[in-house]
Amino acid sequence: MTPKSEKHDIKAIWGAQAVEPNLVTVERIRADADKFQSAVRRRNRVEYAALVFVIAVFGAYIWIFPTPLMRLGSLLIIAAAIFMIVRIHFRASANPIPSHQSFMDYIARYREELRRQQSALRTVWLWYLAPWVPGIGVFTIGINQLLKHMLGNRAPFWPIALVMVAMVGVFAGVLILNVGGSRRLQRKIHELDRLLAS
């Protein structure tokens, strides 16, 4: 048994814990930091590339398709894609929370950040889905118009209905995922509120 005097020197016991030699080198840290930055850049590049592809395709449609509605729809879709590119740019340049502030300040900033993210998820219909609606709507009406022009009354409605159902399905899926994410963030915010109040 440990003698009582030693037992009392609890800080000395604490400080005497065996520790492993530090194997983390500056080179490895730099490599990890680069890896993380590369992953972020890759994600942004994929999103930019997808949006540039949308712009290129609908830019071509402006020349290819004859009806004004399809051209207008293409223009509106291009505008939505440009809006998304601007949003990604601002997201990429957002400042991270400084980790060298006191714990309670850090938690307060972390809470603000969660609140901002939650607000973004809750309003995803407004900034992520709504910008596409006018373009897709006008473009779809334009397709309908073109089909009627080409086939007259024999023009089938089902291709239009299929596009609309697919779009509603995708939009509903995005909304459901984001509402779930927003609720998870809300629970974290409640936890932080309790922590900050203690």
Partner 1 sequence: MSQDDRYSLAVAAFGPALQRLVRSFEADADQRRDLLQEIHLELWRSLEVFEEKCSLRTWVYRVAHNVYASHVLRRRRLNYAGSASLDELADAPNRSNPEVIAGEQQAVAWLHQTIQRLKPPDAQVMCLYLEDIDANEIAEIVGISPGAVATRIHRIKTILARMFQNGGPDDT
Chain residues that interact with partner 1, rule: CB under 8 A: 1-2, 6-8, 10-11, 13-17, 19-20, 22, 24, 26, 29-30, 32-33, 36, 98-107, 110, 187-188, 191-192, 194-195, 198
Nearer to partner 1, 2 or 153 (CB): 2
Smallest gap, in angstroms, from Cβ of residue 190 to partner 1? 9
Residue 157 DSSP symbol: S
Report the C-alpha gap between 124 and 108 in whole angstroms.
24
Nearer to partner 1, 87 or 109 (CB): 109
Question: DSSP states of 41-63 as a string?
Answer: HHHHHHHHHHHHHHHHHHHHHHH
Smallest gap, in angstroms, from Cβ of residue 75 to partner 1? 41
Question: DSSP states of 94-129 as a string?
Answer: PPPPPTTS-HHHHHHHHHHHHHHHHHHHHTHIIIII
Residue 119: CA count within 13 A, CB half-sphere:
6
Smallest gap, in angstroms, from Cβ of residue 173 to partner 1? 24
Smallest gap, in angstroms, from Cβ of residue 113 to partner 1? 10
Nearer to partner 1, 107 or 146 (CB): 107
Report the C-alpha gap between 55 and 60 in whole angstroms.
8
Smallest gap, in angstroms, from Cβ of residue 131 to partner 1? 30
Nearer to partner 1, 1 or 86 (CB): 1
Nearer to partner 1, 30 or 148 (CB): 30
114 to 37, 97, 107, 123, 143: CA distances (angstroms): 21, 11, 10, 14, 42
